Amino acid sequence: MFQLIRLGHYRFDEKYWSNISDEAQFLIRRLLEVDPSKRYSASKALQSDWIMNVDDAVLIDRNLEESHSGIINEAKRMSKMARRVQWINKKKEQSFVNCYESA
């Protein structure tokens, strides 16, 4: 999963991110930006709309446990899937090498 994020291939699954504001998601996208020239620095992040306009009372009242646990579960699922893809690619590579060596 981390490799996918490093390549900029990620999405915010509505199932887990519906409680997360558009401004917060925008900030996360800027922090995960692949291109360093476009990526937010810490000081830029602190100036983001979400940080500057956040209502503390809303944050205190909001239960993010469901979103958090869902995101963690999704990360585990994606990691497991990535390991499977790596295993399949390794087997394909071994098969190609074996085929090439026997020719």
For 70-102, the pLDDT digits (tens) are: 778 778 888 888 888 888 888 888 887 777 676
Range scoring the smallest mean pLDDT among 51-55, 59-63, 97-101: 59-63
Q: Name the pLDDT band for 4 (thresholds 50, 70, 90).
A: low
Structural domain boundaries, residue 69 = 2-102
Q: What is the mean pLDDT of residues 48-60?
A: 79
Spatial separation of the C-alpha atoms in residues 45 and 100, rounded to whole Å? 52
39 CB-side CA count, 13 A? 10
Element (H, E) at 16: helix 14-17
State residue 41's pLDDT score: 92
| Per-residue pLDDT tens digits for 12-37 | 778 878 878 889 889 988 888 888 89
Residue 27's CB is within 10 A of a number of other CB atoms, namely 19
User: For the chain, how many structural domains are there in total?
Assistant: 1
DSSP label at residue 54: -
Question: Residue 57: pLDDT above 70?
Answer: yes
